[in-house]
Amino acid sequence: MSKLLVLINLLVIFLDVFAQPIGNDLISVVVLYRHGDRAPVKAYKNDPYADESYWPLGFGELTNIGKKQQYGLGKWLRERYVDFLPVSYNKNDIKIHSSNVDRCLMSAESNVAGLYPPEGNQVWNDQLKWQPIPIHTTPKTEDAILAQSKPCSKYSKLLKELMEEEPFSSTLDKYKEQMDYFSKNSGENITTLVDLMDLYNTVYIENLHNLTQPDWTQSLLTEEIEQLSGLAWSAYAYTQDLARLRSGPLIDLILNHFENVKNNVEDTPKFLMLSGHDSTIAPLLTAMQVYDNKWPYYASSVIFELREGKNNDFVNVFYRNPTEIANITLPSCDFDCDFDNFQKVLAPVRTSLEDWNKECQQE
């Protein structure tokens, strides 16, 4: 195991120990997290590790490290919400949705194993500290919320047009020589920031798992290229229209959930958990205008907490990565953001699934 993976395990343990329970003014919580550590989604043409035997469960699948990361996140959530979320599982308390991708589904299962170790009458096997918890999902081709892979012709058209505009067009010109170099050595045709991001991602993961890399990759695994990958992530929600079409249904889901909790709508749990991707988190942060152009690491989480205030309910937003949890403040909103104002700030990038479907058909 690489030193970096050992460090990640220690950080997971560290955050588990120092998770602090929250106050008693909490009304509802939504947690969106990225799946845990995975194998590369695919090998590049000249990849010395293209043989799937290097990845026992296959390309794109959750690794044992990823399972530990999500289990640790589940334990951290248990400590943080020990006074809010009962230790015994009850379907009325929580609902878990996952992208219909193996690594997300397995991450959700690993997470709730840490969140809900069975106790008392929920122990059904003395030799197994685990209990089945339902995970809800939607086919990828129909999922506009977590996988965000349901086709949208207007979104695809706008994204393609964006790549021909600033700052993306000049960035491609600036790095053309390097991209040609990467193309020659990788055997892939690296012509866009997304191509570069995909190559960087594969090599980064192989390096993370202590697989010796070809010399040419030294100029790929740099902070500069990582920042370019971050720029590529921001493109998915770079404009208001792109943000609405990419993350709008997700934002609508979160806000509707809080509205339903406030209005005591039947069958609305107080805790909503969403298992997604880096491609779910980065556009959401971009849509909220708080993205720092850094790749959302494995098991990174965006946490929304709805709290009861003296005059009105308010929202706190946090971003948790493997080393820290940070407060997130949206533009025109205090950290303790009045819920009505929170909705107002996000209104331009919020859309219902019904309206999303209609707009996606427009040219």
100 and 224 share one domain: no
7 and 61 share one domain: yes
Task: From the candidates 35, 209, 257, 277, give the one annotated as an active-site residue.
Answer: 35
Q: Are 239 and 286 in contact (CB under 8 A)?
A: no
pLDDT band at 15 (very low <50, low <70, confident <90, very high): low
Last residue of a domain, one of 199, 214, 232: 232
278 is known as an active-site residue = yes
Domain that holds residue 106: 3-150+237-360
Task: Examine the pLDDT at 13 and tell me if it is beyond 60.
Answer: no
Last residue of a domain, one of 232, 254, 269: 232
Average pLDDT of the residues in 286-313: 95
pLDDT at 29: 98
Q: Angle 353-360/240-262 helices, nearest 10 degrees?
A: 160
Q: Are 250 and 74 in contact (CB under 8 A)?
A: no
Beta bridge partners of 338: 314
140 and 225 share one domain: no
Task: Examine the pLDDT at 10 and tell me if it is beyond 50.
Answer: no
48 and 141 share one domain: yes
163 and 113 share one domain: no
168 and 310 share one domain: no
334 is known as an active-site residue = no
pLDDT band at 124 (very low <50, low <70, confident <90, very high): very high
Average pLDDT of the residues in 137-151: 97
175 and 111 share one domain: no
Task: From the candidates 16, 278, 338, 355, give the one annotated as an active-site residue.
Answer: 278
326: domain CATH number is 3.40.50.1240
What's the chain's length in residues? Answer: 363
pLDDT band at 194 (very low <50, low <70, confident <90, very high): very high
The domain tally of the chain equals 2
110 and 172 share one domain: no
Residues contacting residue 206 through CB under 8 Å, at least 6 positions apart = 40, 47, 49, 213
Last residue of a domain, one of 198, 232, 266: 232
pTM above 0.85, yes or no: yes
